Every structure is written in structure tokens, then in C-alpha cells.
A = this chain, B = another copy of it.
Amino acid sequence: MSVLIVGSVALDSVATPHGKVDDALGGSATYFSLAAKLFAKDVNVVAVVGEDFPKRHTEMLLGKGINLDGLVVTEGKTFRWAGEYDESFGDPETLYTQLNVFEEFAPELPEHYCGSSFVFLGNIDPCLQRQVVNQIKAPVLVAADTMNFWIEGKLDELKALMGEIDLLLINALEVRMLSNDKSLLCGARKVLEMGPKVLVVKRGEFGVLMVTKDDLFVLPAYPIEQVIDPTGAGDSFAGAFMGYLASCGKIDFHELKRAVVAGTIVASMNVEGFSVERLANLSRKDIIERMEYFQEITEFTVPEFAG
């Protein structure tokens, strides 16, 4: 089944203790679509770039079989972000954000995108996210990301959106902001009451918590030797998560768990290189091998106690 992503395509300048890149390919829709395409047959991108967007990036994405019919090229410059990570790889220091053509982004779906089954609303204005939902005819699963900026600035619109989606994918801080609860688990349950049937909480290097009304899943992050560039970790997680679900054809908690694992593994590989260099060169075999190893290093059995 097909996956639709609405988000940003950007040119990122990123410095980490392991090197730097300038105007490298980035943006939520970029990371998402490359990760989703590892699993799903059809991946449809809705985004905007400026006339300066390098043709080689478009060609690379098209070469992967990603559908760019919804990638609008507009007069002006492409969204640019520059940031620097220190050795802790916590939140980066933003050096500049130039929204450029992204500032006026009003996602319009090509007609043939409106039948997409798995829809991911990247982190944009919740008003725009709702406009996208309304254009989809018969979605199987609608998921959304958001951020503190929208929780603080457009809470009413965000709450309206939450009534229209199936799954929310946010971080622990955002759960606390939305729920006003210091306990992550209690807060997560409060967020579920706002609408989504599934809440996936990204905890960065500490893994993922997934909560539904009846079920719970906790997964540590995949332990990697060396983070090279954490940019795109959340978006590649989301892409693999949605792509996996679209590929397996059914949504139950068992498959949702596997989708979290797929997301975790692909994100762990993405951060082992700058920009999309690692993501664009992954094979299915690499992913399966790491998934199997991950199972081995996380599984345990409950002992039988005498007496």
C-alpha cells in the first residue's frame, strides 16, 4: 500500500565533532521518504523547494523510486537550516533557519495522491496538516508529528487535528507539554484521550515507548558505537515505521511493535553518516541483519523460580 509524506525538503549545514557538511540534502520529507521506500512500494512526497534545489538530489530520490509528483519547485530559495551538535549529541545549536519557499508552503496534493493509504503529516502548522487530511479519500492510517512551537502557539488547531488522526509520534517533552503530567506513562495515556489511538514517544538515545488503550511496548535504542550526525533520526524512524506498516498490509499491535523496531534500526543506521549518505545506501539485508542482532541483544526469558 502507498505512503504519503507531507514535510520539508531542505539544504542542511551541519557540524558535529566528526566533521561537517554544507547545504547537504535534508528535511523531514527527505529522510522519511528514503526510509519508507526501504519497505513500501509507493512513496509519495508532498513538499516544496526553490529553483536553487540541486537537480542531483531530485535525481537521486527519483532513482530510488520515490514519487516526487508532489514536490513543487517555486520561485525563490530552498529551506535552509544550519546547526551544530556537541559531543553529547543533545539538542543542536541552531546557527540559522531560512524558511525561504517553505514559509508559504500550502500543501496541495496531486489528484493521484489522494488515494494514499498511509499518511504521515510531518511537523508543520497543524492547520496545514488538517488541510492534508481532508484531501485524502480513504486513508488506512493517518499519523502526525508536531513540536513545542505548535503546542504553545496553536494548541486548539492541534487538538482538532488529534481528533482526526490515528497515530501521534512525538518526543517525551512534547508528551509532558500536552498532558501537563510529569509521569511519562500517565501523560501518554492523557494524550491518547485527546484522540489518537496510538501514541509513539521518541526518546532519542533511550529508545521508544508506544502506548494504546490496551497495550504497551518499550524498546531501548539500538546501541551504536558512534553517532556521526543525528539529523533526521526522528524522520527516518517515522519513515521506516510507516513504510513497514504499509508493506505488511495489516495493523495490529504485533505489527506496530515490528514497525517500531524497523524505525529504530533504520534511524540507528541513518545517524551513522552525515545527511542521507547512509540512508541512501542501505540494503534490505543490512536492515534484517541488524534487526536480528537487536532481537538477540534485547530478548530474555523469565526464569521459573522454585519455592
Contacts and interface: CB of A to CB of B under 8 A. Distances in A.
Interface of A: 17, 39, 87-88, 182-186, 203, 206-207, 209, 215-221, 223-227, 244, 247-248, 254, 257-258, 260-262, 284, 288, 291-292, 295, 297-303, 305, 307
8 contacts: A186-B225, A203-B206, A209-B223, A218-B297, A260-B300, A261-B300, A262-B303, A288-B305
Contact of A218 (B183, B186, B220): B220
Contacts of A223: 184-185, 209, 216, 218
Contact of A225 (B185, B209, B291, B307): B185
Nearest to A188: B223
Given A206-B206, A220-B220, A223-B218, A300 B185 contact: no
Given A291-B302, A299-B299, 19 more contacts: A87-B182, A183-B227, A185-B223, A186-B225, A207-B207, A209-B223, A216-B223, A216-B297, A218-B220, A219-B300, A220-B220, A248-B303, A258-B300, A260-B300, A261-B300, A284-B307, A295-B300, A295-B301, A298-B298
Nearest to A17: B182
Given A218-B220, A220-B207, A220-B218, A225 B183 contact: yes
Given A88-B182, A224-B185, A225-B183, A217 B297 contact: yes
A190 B97 CA distance: 39
A291 B248 CA distance: 30
Contacts of A219: 220, 298, 300
Top 3 nearest A-B pairs (CB, nearest first) are: A206-B206, A218-B220, A87-B182
Nearest to A256: B300
Contacts of A298: 217-219, 298
A91 B62 CA distance: 50
